[in-house]
Structures are given as C-alpha cells and as structure tokens.
Amino acid sequence: MSECLILTHIFLEDLQKPIAMNVFANSFILLTILSFYALLIAKMHHIC
C-alpha cells in the first residue's frame, strides 16, 4: 500500500511541473491526464 502512495506522490509531483510552466495549455490537456490517472489508480488498486 505504501509503495502505491509513493508512486502516486511522485506522479503528482511530475504532474505539477508542466502545469506550473504553462497553465493555459495544460488546462486543456489536464482532462486527458486525469483520465489516464484514473486508469492508473484502477490498475494500482488491483496490484496492491
């Protein structure tokens, strides 16, 4: 469980960098990223 939380934390940190650099462009891409993140959570839920 803790490994999944660490992976989630790393993923969120990497996600914040491009958003901070270009909020407007990434606000459009954010929907796609969140969809991918939702699938990632689902997969991690099965693994853990």
Report the sign of the C-alpha dihedral through residues 39, 45, 47, 48, in that order: positive
What pLDDT was estimated at residue 18? 62
Give how many domains the chain has, as a whole number. Answer: 1
Tens digit of each residue's pLDDT (9 = 90 or more) over 17-36: 765 666 766 677 778 888 99
DSSP for the chain, written as a single string: -HHHHHHHHHHHHHHHHHHHH-HHHHHHHHHHHHHHHHHHHHHHHHH-
Give the structural domain span for 28.
Answer: 2-47
What pLDDT was estimated at residue 45? 76
Mean pLDDT of the chain: 75
6-24 mean pLDDT: 69
- The pTM assigned to this predicted structure is 0.36
